[in-house]
Each structure stands twice: as structure tokens, then as C-alpha cells.
């Protein structure tokens, strides 16, 4: 019997709304790009591009699809450290210095990248079908030329789950901050520098020959005063030398660090004095990178990694070379991984001494993804150089869970019903594994009474959803209802639906939960289910005009014109009560031409 081929899952992205102030004065397009996976634009027109044209956006909101093999590790890896790129282009005339003024009238506008952003799709790699609204921001590439950011609201969904059998067991972030005390001969031409991390065998596999397995690389260094750098990690794979987007907020991740504590609690290369106290943060320069890679481990890979670390046959080699001369290693250092075999260790900052390498031979493993075989070269001159300061780099390695814990499912490890998107977004924010529901409720209530419109209370209330076996306790319902309606306001409809499903298990709040659940389902475009819960809400002995107005709107969209008119009549039994602006706004978006005006009064069954 031949093994069955993995099912292909289509992940769809459709922009629902785009806000960009400059679109009124210039021609604007937004391009979707991914360096590894193919993007397909589903459109009625024969266009091969993957772009959103702002001029025709309201006429046709294009849908884009990504084909992902279900449970396929290679496809998972494609999106682990490489989000979907969003690049906003404006069509502008060339610089006046380049073209004579008389010729500018004949000149065709050129496309110039103005803003940059991304969509991290890993939150949709779950064992259930995805459907959620998502807001993304594109930030200016050059604030001296264009200062406006762009906001895009997406509808993201899949008709099948991307994951079925594979379990995500751990998430690892590897971040590189800066290179310190680097010699002028290297630092003055830092644009060309590459830092590469690889697993490196401690013992030679042959005489003077060591195995090396590529992990990741970093580029795009800039020479800056240490205290003037930003404190956010960038996505290394989103850096684009052509766009020069290194300073744009559009490539920043949600992970940050403290510049003041850069040298605190670091593990240093053994028997090396780094003299951190001699570094003047406000005067001294460093080669700044501040970039990270993300690795997501399945349960099997988690087990394999633990086995390799237990055997203690590899460390990590840090190598620095020029991109133009990849075979010549300028500096190197080593990281001892044995620390991660201690129980409870999840994150470490390593201060790694960098020195010119000794002459050795490195044999790349067949599993290596490195692009070139490197020769470490060490000259007599470098041996005789006297380095007054220790050259070093700071590398952070952080895991969601200790590698020594049994491999399992992140859902179970974090005691949640589903993997929250922030599990993939951050690591250095500490997550309490099992919060006490009552503590969350009390903290939420305190924050809510101090600042009802703030977000602090919502964080505590939302944490209650992550705790199993408490949904039947009526004491938690009020906090969850507050959270659910706040999620509706923030257009986090999937999260709102979870909250109202939690709250609906208590009879005391059935009406409020049903109305909230119906609204969430409506905005997720599940019209039939939304109608069911709005209808159930009419069975209570309380008149809710907006409830009937929603039923009218849903039936209108479903083509049930007669039922829509009947519901609209019930919504106006008390004419002094105004219909909510949100419903009127939705009615304004209904295509009038698609509504049948011929009404059959015998249609009922209503």
C-alpha cells in the first residue's frame, strides 16, 4: 500500500479595508510576497500580479491563496521564520535632478516602495479550520519622504485545518544583538558582514576535520552608539538590502529587550574577562544587528534535539565573514549548550568571545543548509596583533518550554483549549503556566474599576479562558462577558466567540451571551448560525429592538426579503428607540441591486 499524499490546504487572505491617507493623491498598490511559498491571486481579471490596486479596490477586493500541504514539515518551516511580506508602492515621477524639466511631462511614473509590513501566518497552523479578522500595519520606509502608515484589515480563513497529526511541542527564538569591540579593519566596512551560527562537532570526525550543520545567519549590521539603538528585535528574514528597510518599524517583531540590562545576567565564555564596566553606552560604538530567527519544534524534533544535547557532542560555532569573501572566516566563537540540560532552563543570554580562528577543516553535514563551504584562514599577522579589548557578541536563545520536559502539545503544556497566537509571537515575556482563575478575576475587577476603558483588565479576564474546567462557575461570567464585548469592539471576533461560548454555559447570562455570540458569528460571516442565536434571544421576556434589526439585516443578506421586512417591523415597535449605528452601517453596505423586490406574502413559516 502506497502512503497517501498529504492533503493540500488553501489559506485564503482577502483585504476588507485599507486606510492610507496618501492614496487620495498618488497611485498606490500593495504587493504580497513570500520568498519560498507561491501566492496566487484569485480574480475575475487575467492578471498575474499579486497586488492590491487601491484605485480598483472598492470594485473588486481580491482574494489571495497560499497552498500548504497538511502536516508537511517543509511547508511548516517555510513560514516559521519568514512571514508574508507586504510592500506598499507609490507611482511617482523621477527625481528632478535626474531628468530635465521639459522631459518630465513625457516621463512615465516609476514605482517606489513607500511602506513595509508583514503577516505572521503561524497562528493559523492549527488543528481546526481558521477564520478570523486580522489588522496589519505597514510602516514608512523613509520618513523623510512619506510619513503615513497604512492599515489593512484582512479576512483570513481556510476550509480545512492545516494541522491534523503533527503537534507543535516548542518554540525557540535565537536573537543576535550586536558585535562589540570589533577592530576598525572589520567594523569600518560592516555592510558586507555576515554572522553565521552552526552546530559544530566537538570531536573531529577525521583528522583536523569537524562536522558543521547550518542553523541561521544574520546580516545588515550598522555602526551605532550603543545607547542609540532600538530595543526591538527585527525579523532577520524580512530584511531587504534593495529596499534598505533595516530601520523601518515594518520588520520589527513583538520581542524586545532592555538596553540598560544588555550585559546583565549573561553567561560568558569561560576564563574571559569582558570588562563590561569599561563600556560606555553613550560614547562607544557597536555593530548593531538586533535580529532574530524563530524555530518551531514538533514533538519528534523536540525529542531528537534533546537526545543530541544529552550526548554533548556538539556546540554552536559563531563565525563572522564578509559576504563577498565567504570562504574566509574573520572571527569565531563557541556556545556551550549543556546548560539547557538543566531542569527549568528556558532562556539564556550568551556573551561569546570572538577571536581569529585557528586553521582547521570543516565538513558540512548532508543535512546542512549552508550555501558555501567555508575555509577558516588565519594569518601570522593576526596572531601577532595585540587586542586590548575583548571582541564579543551577545546571543539570546529562548524556548517556550525547557528542552528537558517531555515533548507534547503546546495546547496541553499551556493548559489552553487552543494555541494562542502570542505563543508564536513572543518568548521573553514570561507566561504563567497555570494561572489561578480567581486571582485573574480579582485582578481584572480591580483594573476594571480603576480604568474601565483600559486594556489591563482585559488581559486578566482573558487569562481565565486559558484555564480548563472553570466555565461552569458563575462567578467568572461577568468578567468573561466584559472581555467578550471588548473583543467585539476590537474586532477580535474569534476571541469574542470563545468568550461568549464560555459564558453561555451559565443560565444566568444566557441572553447576554447569546446576543454577543450572534454578533461574533455575524461578523465572521456565519449568517445562519448568527440567525439562530439572535432568534433564541427573542424568546426572553425583554424587547431588544437591535436584536430584531440584526435579524432583518441577516435575512436581507440571505435573500429572505419577506422575513427581513417582518423583523424590521418588530425592530420599530417603539419608534423612539433608535437602531444602533453599527447595524445601519452594515445595511448601507448591502448591495441593493441584489435584493429581490418582488415579495411573496405567502412565504412565511416564520
Q: Name the β-bridge partners of 176.
A: 291, 395
Comma-separated ranges of CATH 1.25.40.10 domains in the chain: 471-594
Reduced to 3 states, what is the DSSP secondary structure of residue 144? coil
pLDDT at 254: 82
- pLDDT tens per residue, range 495-508: 899 888 888 766 66
Residue 550: the pLDDT is: 93
Question: Which tens digits make up the pLDDT trace of 154-169?
Answer: 999 999 999 888 888 8
In terms of pLDDT, which residue wins out, 603 or 292?
A: 292
Span 122-151, average pLDDT: 86
Q: Hey, what CATH topology would domain 168-358+389-427 get?
A: Immunoglobulin-like (2.60.40)
Nearest to 474 by CA among 435, 427, 443, 441: 441
Q: What is the pLDDT of residue 45?
A: 60
pLDDT surpasses 70 at 542: yes
Which residue is associated with the grid cell 518551516? 77
Total Cβ atoms within 10 A of residue 26: 16
Q: Which of 333, 321, 290 is nearest to 175 (CA)?
A: 290
Highest mean pLDDT among 232-246, 250-264, 454-468: 232-246
Residue 492: the pLDDT is: 87
Unique residue bearing C-alpha cell 524580512: 238
Q: What pLDDT is stored for residue 527 in this prediction?
A: 92
Task: Give the pLDDT confidence score for residue 423 in this predicted structure.
Answer: 59
Q: List where CATH 2.60.40.150 sits in the chain.
A: 8-93+109-158, 168-358+389-427
pLDDT, mean of residues 61-89: 92
What pLDDT shows up at residue 390?
93
Are 174 and 292 in contact, with CB atoms under 8 Å apart? yes
From CA 30, how far away is CA 381, in angstroms rounded?
Answer: 52
The winner for highest mean pLDDT among 445-449, 466-470, 552-556, 596-600 is 552-556
Strands 39-42 and 110-119, by their bridges, are: unpaired
Percent of the chain scoring above 70 in pLDDT: 83
Grid look-up 554572522 returns 195
More confident position, 466 or 599: 466
Q: What is the pTM of this model?
A: 0.67
> Does an H or E element contain 17, and which?
strand 8-19
Residue 377: is its pLDDT beyond 50?
Answer: no
Q: Euclidean distance between the first and final Cα of the chain, in Å?
A: 54
Q: What confidence tier does 98 reach under pLDDT thresholds 50, 70, 90?
A: very low
CATH annotation of 8-93+109-158: 2.60.40.150
Q: Inter-axis angle of helices 477-489 and 493-503, to 10 degrees? A: 160
Give the separation between CA 411 and CA 420, rounded to whole angstroms: 9
Question: How far from 539 is each of 536, 548, 568, CA to CA, in Å?
Answer: 6, 12, 17
Whether the pLDDT of residue 383 is over 50: the answer is no
pLDDT value at position 351?
Answer: 95
Reported confidence tier of residue 380, pLDDT bands at 50, 70, 90: very low
CA–CA dist 458, 479 (Å, integer): 8
Per-residue pLDDT reduced to its tens digit, 271-287: 999 999 999 999 999 99
Closest CA to 561 of 605, 601, 521, 518: 601
The secondary structure of 52-120 as a DSSP string is: EETTTTTT---EEEEEEETT-HHHHHHHHS-PEEEEEEEEEPPPTTTS-GGGTTTPPPEEEEEEEEEE-
Residue 549 CB partners (closer than 8 Å, separation 6+): 567, 568, 571, 579, 580, 583
Average pLDDT over residues 579-594: 83
Of 581, 527, 577, nearest to 552 by C-alpha is 527
Count helices and strands in the chain by DSSP H and E runs: 15, 22
Residue entry with cell 535580529: 291
429, pLDDT greater than 80? no
Place of cell 528597510: 245
In this structure, whether the domain defined by 471-594 belongs to CATH 1.25.40.10 is answered with yes
Cα 512 to Cα 485, 499, 509, 583: the distances in Å are 10, 12, 6, 18
16 is written with which cell numbers?
A: 476588507
CB atoms within 10 A of CB 107: 12
Instruction: Give me the chain's average pLDDT, please.
Output: 83
Average pLDDT value for residue range 514-532? 91
What is the per-residue pLDDT across 297-340, written as a single tens digit (0 to 9) for each? 998 999 999 988 888 899 999 999 999 999 999 999 999 998 89
For the cut 90, the answer to whether the pLDDT of residue 206 exceeds it is no
Tell me the average pLDDT across 407-432.
57
Give pairs for 241-246: CB < 8 Å, separation 24+.
243/87, 243/113, 243/116, 243/141, 244/141, 245/116, 245/141, 246/220, 246/222
pLDDT of res. 159: 92
> In the chain, how long is the greatest CA-to-CA distance?
99
- pLDDT score, position 137: 93
Return the SS3 of 402: coil
Joined together, the cell numbers standing for residue 178 give 550586536
Instruction: Say which residues have a Cβ less than 8 Å from residue 399's Cβ, sequence separation at least 6.
Output: 170, 171, 172, 173, 340, 346, 347, 427
Share of the chain above pLDDT 90, in %: 38
Amino acid at each position: 500500500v502506497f502512503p497517501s499524499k498529504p492533503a493540500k490546504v488553501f489559506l485564503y487572505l482577502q483585504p476588507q479595508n485599507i486606510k492610507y491617507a496618501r492614496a487620495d493623491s498618488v497611485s498606490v498598490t500593495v504587493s504580497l510576497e513570500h520568498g519560498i511559498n507561491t501566492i496566487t491571486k484569485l480574480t475575475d481579471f487575467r492578471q498575474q500580479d499579486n497586488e492590491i490596486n487601491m484605485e480598483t479596490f472598492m470594485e473588486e477586493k481580491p482574494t489571495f491563496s497560499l497552498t500548504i500541504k497538511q502536516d508537511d514539515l517543509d511547508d511548516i518551516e517555510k513560514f516559521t521564520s519568514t512571514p508574508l511580506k507586504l510592500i506598499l508602492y507609490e507611482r511617482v515621477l523621477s527625481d528632478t535632478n535626474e531628468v530635465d524639466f521639459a522631459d518630465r511631462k513625457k516621463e512615465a511614473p516609476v514605482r517606489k516602495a513607500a511602506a513595509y509590513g508583514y503577516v505572521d501566518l503561524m497562528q493559523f497552523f492549527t488543528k481546526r479550520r481558521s477564520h478570523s479578522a486580522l489588522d496589519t500595519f505597514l510602516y514608512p520606509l523613509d520618513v523623510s519622504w512619506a510619513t503615513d502608515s497604512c492599515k489593512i484589515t484582512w479576512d483570513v480563513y481556510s476550509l480545512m485545518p492545516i494541522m491534523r497529526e503533527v503537534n507543535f511541542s516548542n518554540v525557540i527564538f535565537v536573537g543576535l544583538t550586536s558585535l562589540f569591540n570589533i577592530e576598525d579593519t572589520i567594523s569600518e566596512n560592516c555592510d558586507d558582514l555576515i554572522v553565521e551560527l552552526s552546530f559544530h562537532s566537538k570531536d573531529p570526525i577525521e583528522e583536523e576535520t569537524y562536522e558543521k550543520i547550518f542553523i541561521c545567519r544574520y546580516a545588515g549590521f550598522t555602526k551605532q552608539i550603543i545607547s542609540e539603538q532600538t530595543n526591538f528585535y527585527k525579523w532577520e528574514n524580512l530584511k531587504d538590502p534593495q529596499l534598505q528597510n533595516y530601520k523601518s518599524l515594518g520588520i520589527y517583531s513583538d520581542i524586545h529587550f532592555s538596553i540598560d540590562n544588555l550585559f546583565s545576567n549573561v553567561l560568558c565564555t569561560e576564563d574571559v574577562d569582558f570588562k563590561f564596566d569599561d563600556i560606555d553606552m553613550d560614547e562607544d560604538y557597536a555593530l548593531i544587528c538586533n535580529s532574530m530567527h524563530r524555530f518551531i519544534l514538533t514533538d519528534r524534533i523536540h525529542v531528537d534535539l534533546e537526545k543530541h544535547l544529552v550526548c554533548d557532542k556538539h556546540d554552536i560555532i559563531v563565525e563572522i565573514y564578509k559576504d563577498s569573501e565567504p570562504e574566509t572566516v574573520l572571527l569565531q566563537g563557541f556556545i556551550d549548550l549543556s546548560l539547557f540540560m538543566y531542569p527549568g532552563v528556558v532562556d539564556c543570554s550568551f556573551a561569546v568571545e570572538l577571536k581569529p580562528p585557528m586553521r582547521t577543516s570543516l565538513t558540512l553535514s548532508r543535512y546542512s543548509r549552508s550555501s558555501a563551504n567555508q575555509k577558516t584562514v588565519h594569518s601570522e599577522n593576526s596572531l601577532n596583533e595585540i587586542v586590548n579589548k575583548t571582541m564579543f557578541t551577545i546571543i539570546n536563545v529562548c524556548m517556550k518550554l525547557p528542552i528537558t520536559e517531555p515533548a507534547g502539545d503546546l495546547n496541553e503544556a499551556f493548559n489552553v483549549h487552543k494555541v494562542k497566537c502570542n505563543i508564536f509571537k513572543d518568548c521573553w515575556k514570561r507566561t504563567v503556566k497555570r494561572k489561578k482563575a480567581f486571582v485573574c478575576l480579582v485582578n481584572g475587577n480591580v483594573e476594571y474599576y480603576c480604568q474601565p476603558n483600559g486594556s489591563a483588565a482585559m488581559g486578566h479576564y482573558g487569562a481565565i479562558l486559558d484555564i480548563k474546567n472553570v466555565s461552569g462557575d458563575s462567578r467568572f461570567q461577568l468578567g468573561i462577558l466584559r472581555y467578550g464585548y471588548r473583543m467585539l469592539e476590537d474586532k477580535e471576533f474569534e476571541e469574542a466567540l470563545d468568550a461568549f461560548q464560555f459564558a453561555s454555559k451559565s443560565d444566568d447570562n444566557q441572553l447576554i451571551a447569546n446576543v454577543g455570540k450572534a454578533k461574533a458569528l455575524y461578523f465572521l460571516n456565519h449568517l445562519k448560525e448568527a440567525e439562530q442565536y439572535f432568534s433564541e434571544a427573542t424568546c426572553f421576556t425583554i424587547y431588544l429592538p437591535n436584536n430584531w434589526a440584526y435579524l432583518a439585516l441577516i435575512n436581507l443578506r440571505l435573500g429572505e426579503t419577506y422575513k427581513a421586512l417582518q423583523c424590521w417591523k418588530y425592530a420599530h415597535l417603539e419608534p423612539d428607540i433608535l437602531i444602533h449605528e453599527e447595524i445601519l452601517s452594515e445595511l448601507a453596505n448591502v448591495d441593493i441591486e441584489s435584493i429581490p423586490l418582488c415579495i411573496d406574502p405567502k412565504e412565511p413559516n416564520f
